[in-house]
């Protein structure tokens, strides 16, 4: 018996980062040389990245939500955010009328 008693626990933001409310566990695991039993389920391919982080051949940086360009492919977004990301990728969002016009011109 450790004499320690847990009387309550709260992870109210469900995340590690107070700016984005997103989990920072992947970066923490990659940067931490100590392996914990909670990380044993991670596949070997992820350890490849960890090894390269340790060697210095890969550097990890925190990217704020505003600059997460992959969000367009992974999340339902508000219209203004979607349009911003479409533009950031150099793409266009075509209306049904534009799509029909393009289909007829082919």
74-90: pLDDT as tens digits: 888 898 998 899 888 89
User: Does the pLDDT of residue 92 top 80, yes or no?
Assistant: yes
Same domain, 32 and 61: yes
Q: How many residues does the chain have?
A: 106
Please, is 51 exposed, middle or buried when counting C-beta atoms within 10 Å of its C-beta (0-12, 13-18, 19+)?
A: exposed
Confidence of residue 49 (pLDDT cuts 50, 70, 90): confident
Confidence at 37, pLDDT banded by 50, 70, 90: low
Please determine, for residue 55, whether its predicted confidence score (pLDDT) is greater than 90.
Answer: yes
The answer to whether 60 and 27 are in contact (CB under 8 A) is yes
> Which residues neighbour 12 within 8 Å (Cβ) at sequence distance 6 or greater?
none
Residues 60 and 86 in one domain: no
Instruction: Please give the mean pLDDT across all residues of the chain.
Output: 75
Q: Which range marks the domain in which residue 57 is found?
A: 1-68
- Percent of the chain surpassing pLDDT 70: 58
Specify the number of domains making up the chain: 2
Q: Above 80 in pLDDT, residue 70?
A: yes
**Whether residue 59 is found in the same domain as residue 75:** no
**Which 8-state DSSP code applies to residue 90?**
T
- Categorize the per-residue pLDDT at 42 as very low, low, confident or very high, splitting at 50, 70 and 90: low
55 and 27: one domain?
yes
């Amino acid at each position: 018996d450790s004499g320690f008693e847990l009387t309550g626990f709260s992870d109210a933001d469900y995340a590690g980062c107070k700016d984005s409310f997103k989990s920072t566990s992947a970066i923490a695991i990659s940067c931490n040389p100590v392996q914990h039993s909670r990380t044993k389920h991670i596949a070997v391919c992820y350890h490849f990245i960890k090894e390269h982080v340790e060697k210095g051949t890969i550097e990890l940086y925190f990217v704020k939500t505003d600059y997460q360009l992959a969000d367009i492919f992974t999340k339902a977004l508000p219209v203004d955010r979607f349009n911003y990301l479409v533009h950031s990728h150099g793409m266009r969002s075509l209306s049904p009328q534009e799509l029909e016009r393009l289909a007829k011109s082919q």
